[in-house]
């Protein structure tokens, strides 16, 4: 597989990202892990390092549940470089009675670039749930950053009055004692518990990433939360008042938990970190299983992480983020690629693309639509939505059209990724980007949903998508990364040499021309570091 994951012969449970960072020439990834079972529990921090965020070395476990305050799990946390150059890990711990505490850990040997050994702070825990916060509603500390008053800030997710999702703010001057602020950073009624919260700046003029220490003009701030009740990762774009520790959404109707999502498929508990070497902000998420625990036990592994993505503000719209696979993933591309130009897709057509086995692919596709037909036809489709539609089988005047991946020749199995253009009653249109899992597998006990959402398509733009296909996962990026969908599928027929890729146009009114570049992808390396 090209995805970052443990080999299938290891009994392992992947979990949430914890404390990604760059240190002395190595990218470090820590993640929740059960060394004894594919079922959640015995939450431990596993540790891997990489030079390129693509090929990885597995290191010994970083932290295990061995104290009263974390005996039920070393949960998610974040890394912070302190002013004196030391590295500190701030993490949530689950105690013997399942109360959530916040704890510190430090490298045992700062001269070790691999950071193999970690020591828990003698004074743990440093934070307990404050009055008014549930004992199990207090988790996932962020990295610390300095404010204009010289104090350092840290945020955590929680909820108020059982239904109001919120972000707590703490101040510190010594990194051991923390003061809870009276006011929350932000809250939204009806959104429930927020976990894995994140805040970071994005440039309004450039495509480079920004560290949290950046203040001033030309900057917006992204606030993100993972909704514990709906299991989605939500984000919103707004402004941050550093003096008063308040965050405000640019558009209250697109506020946190009711507006935009990082990913409209299977994706959760994500975290970003600033890469100081390539001046970029990198996003990772957790892609869980939708099959049964019994199947996980048979294959002896469960859950994966997505290909890391860079995150920037969409400078053209100023209202959404751009997510894009890190450039290093291109190292896995084959030397030669297949090129298809202006493939004619008549209404109702399916066109095979002869590339051989199609289980591991990097596909860039562009679709040109006859705008004269689009403008002339007044057929309204005001109620269309990816998740409630008939998927790729449903036919409209202007969609669906796109690609069938992980498909076998008789179409017993297929995973369509497609655009659907819906006309409004006033003649304007909106575009949807969707993935249809309904026929992705002959198995009956796996998730088979239609995922997706709208995607901005600006005047003069063609319809573009990039797909990373890897045996049982499809990561799809529309319009340069404005809308993203990760789909976890379980083909039984469309595997190995039987896996094919097709173009299709199931619209009733428009002809589409498609141009594609398709690379075969090699396997990423994941092996034990030769200590």
Average pLDDT of the chain?
93
Tokens of 461: 């733009």
Task: Give bridge partners of residue 224 from the DSSP assignment.
Answer: 198, 235
Q: Which residues of 435-461 are buried (b: 16+ CB within 10 A; e: fewer)?
A: bbbebbbeeeebbbbbbbbbbbbeeee
pLDDT tens-place string over residues 184-241: 999 999 999 999 999 999 999 999 999 998 888 899 999 999 999 999 999 999 999 9
pLDDT tens-place string over residues 307-316: 999 999 999 9
- Residue 340 backbone dihedrals phi, psi, to 5 degrees: -130, 130
C-alpha R_g of the chain: 23
Given a contact cutoff of 8 angstroms between Cβ atoms, the answer to whether 253 and 282 are in contact is no
Structure-model confidence comparison of residues 303 and 4, the more confident one: 303
Tell me how crowded residue 524 is: count the other CB atoms within 10 A of its CB: 22
Give yes or no for a cis peptide into 258 (omega within 30° of 0). no
Tell me how crowded residue 190 is: count the other CB atoms within 10 A of its CB: 9
pLDDT tens-place string over residues 42-72: 899 999 999 999 999 999 999 999 999 999 9
Task: Give bridge partners of residue 285 from the DSSP assignment.
Answer: none
Lowest-pLDDT choice from 74-83, 422-431, 445-454? 422-431
Model confidence at 8: pLDDT above 60: no
Task: Give bridge partners of residue 310 from the DSSP assignment.
Answer: 282, 324
Rounded Cα gap, residues 183 and 169, in angstroms: 8
Task: Give bridge partners of residue 171 from the DSSP assignment.
Answer: 153, 179
Q: What local confidence, expressed as pLDDT, does residue 500 receive? A: 97
Given a contact cutoff of 8 angstroms between Cβ atoms, the answer to whether 170 and 156 are in contact is yes
Q: What local confidence, expressed as pLDDT, does residue 3 receive? A: 40
pLDDT tens-place string over residues 339-379: 999 999 999 999 999 999 999 999 999 999 987 777 777 67
Rounded Cα gap, residues 373 and 512, in angstroms: 11
DSSP percent split of the chain into helix, strand, coil, nearest 5: 5, 45, 45
Q: What local confidence, expressed as pLDDT, does residue 15 receive? A: 63
Rounded Cα gap, residues 507 and 136, in angstroms: 49
**Across 251-277, average pLDDT:** 97
Model confidence at 510: pLDDT above 60: yes
Q: Are strands 483-488 and 473-478 parallel, antiparallel or unpaired?
A: antiparallel
Q: How confident is the model at residue 41 (pLDDT cuts 50, 70, 90)?
A: confident
Model confidence at 139: pLDDT above 80: yes
Spatial CA neighbour of 514 closest among 505, 501, 523: 505
Q: What is the pTM of this model?
A: 0.95
Q: Which residues contact 522 (CB under 8 A, 6 or more apart)?
A: 2, 332, 333, 334, 360
CA atoms within 13 A on the CB side of 234: 25
Given a contact cutoff of 8 angstroms between Cβ atoms, the answer to whether 118 and 89 are in contact is yes
Task: Give bridge partners of residue 477 from the DSSP assignment.
Answer: 466, 484
Model confidence at 11: pLDDT above 70: no
Model confidence at 181: pLDDT above 50: yes
- Residue 103 backbone dihedrals phi, psi, to 5 degrees: -135, 165
Model confidence at 162: pLDDT above 80: yes
Tokens of 524: 């990423």
Rounded Cα gap, residues 367 and 399, in angstroms: 12
Lowest-pLDDT choice from 4-8, 269-273, 419-423? 4-8
H helix intervals, 222-308 = 293-299
Given a contact cutoff of 8 angstroms between Cβ atoms, the answer to whether 474 and 415 are in contact is yes
Lowest-pLDDT choice from 295-299, 318-322, 419-423, 466-470? 295-299
Q: What local confidence, expressed as pLDDT, does residue 2 receive? A: 42
Q: What local confidence, expressed as pLDDT, does residue 1 receive? A: 37
Tokens of 113: 């670039």
Tokens of 180: 């809870």
Tell me how crowded residue 249 is: count the other CB atoms within 10 A of its CB: 19
Tokens of 502: 């097709």
Tokens of 380: 């309204």
Q: In the 8-state DSSP scheme, what is residue 307?
A: P
Rounded Cα gap, residues 470 and 290, in angstroms: 16
Structure-model confidence comparison of residues 13 and 421, the more confident one: 421
Given a contact cutoff of 8 angstroms between Cβ atoms, the answer to whether 369 and 469 are in contact is no
Give the three-class secondary structure for 183: coil
> Which H/E stretch holds residue 371?
helix 371-376
Q: How confident is the model at residue 9 (pLDDT cuts 50, 70, 90)?
A: very low
Model confidence at 5: pLDDT above 70: no
* Cα torsion angle, 7, 12, 16, 22, sign: negative
């Amino acid at each position: 597989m090209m995805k970052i994951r443990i080999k299938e012969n290891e009994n392992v449970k992947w979990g949430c990202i914890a404390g990604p960072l760059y240190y002395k020439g190595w990218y470090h990834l820590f993640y929740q892990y059960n060394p004894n079972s594919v079922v959640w529990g015995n939450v431990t921090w596993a540790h891997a390092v990489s030079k390129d965020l693509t090929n990885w070395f597995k290191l010994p476990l970083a932290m295990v549940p061995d104290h009263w305050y974390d005996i039920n799990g070393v949960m998610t946390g974040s890394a912070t470089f302190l002013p004196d150059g030391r590295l500190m890990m701030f993490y949530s711990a689950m105690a013997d009675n399942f109360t959530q505490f916040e704890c510190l850990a430090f490298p045992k040997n700062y001269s070790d670039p691999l950071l193999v050994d970690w020591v828990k702070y003698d004074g743990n825990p440093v934070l307990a749930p404050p009055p008014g916060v549930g004992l199990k509603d207090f988790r996932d500390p962020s990295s610390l950053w300095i404010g204009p008053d010289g104090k350092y800030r840290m945020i955590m997710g929680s909820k108020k009055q059982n239904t109001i999702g919120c972000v707590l703010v703490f101040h510190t001057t010594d990194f051991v004692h923390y003061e809870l602020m009276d006011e929350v950073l932000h809250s939204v009624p009806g959104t429930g518990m927020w976990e894995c919260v994140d805040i970071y700046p994005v440039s309004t003029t450039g495509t480079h990433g920004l560290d949290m220490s950046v203040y001033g003009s030309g900057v917006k701030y992204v606030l993100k939360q993972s909704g514990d009740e709906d299991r989605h990762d939500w984000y919103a774009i707004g402004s941050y008042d550093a003096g008063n520790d308040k965050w405000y959404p640019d558009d209250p109707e697109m506020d946190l938990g009711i507006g935009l999502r990082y990913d409209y498929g299977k994706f959760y508990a994500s975290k970003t970190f600033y890469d100081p070497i390539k001046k970029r902000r990198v996003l990772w998420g957790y892609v869980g299983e939708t099959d049964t625990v019994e199947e996980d036990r048979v294959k002896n592994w469960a859950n994966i992480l997505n290909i890391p993505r860079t995150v920037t503000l969409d400078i053209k719209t100023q209202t959404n983020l751009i997510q894009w696979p890190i450039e290093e993933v291109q190292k896995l591309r084959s030397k030669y690629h297949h090129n298809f130009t202006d493939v004619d897709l008549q209404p109702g057509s399916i066109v095979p693309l002869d590339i051989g086995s199609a289980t591991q692919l990097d596909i860039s596709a562009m679709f040109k639509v006859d705008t004269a037909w689009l403008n002339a036809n007044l057929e309204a489709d005001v109620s269309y939505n990816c998740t409630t539609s008939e998927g790729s089988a449903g036919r409209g005047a202007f969609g669906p059209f796109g690609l069938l991946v992980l498909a076998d020749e008789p179409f017993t199995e297929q995973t369509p990724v497609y655009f659907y253009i819906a006309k409004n009653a006033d003649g304007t249109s909106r575009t949807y980007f969707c993935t249809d899992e309904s026929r992705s597998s002959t198995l009956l006990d796996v998730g088979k949903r239609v995922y997706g959402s709208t995607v901005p398509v600006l005047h003069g733009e063609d319809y573009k998508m990039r797909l990373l296909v890897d045996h049982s996962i499809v990561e799809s990026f529309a319009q340069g990364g404005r809308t993203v969908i990760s789909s976890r599928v379980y083909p039984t027929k469309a595997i190995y040499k039987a896996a094919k890729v097709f173009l299709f146009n199931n619209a009733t009114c428009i002809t589409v021309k498609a141009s594609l570049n398709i690379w075969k992808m090699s396997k990423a390396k994941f092996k034990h570091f030769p200590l």
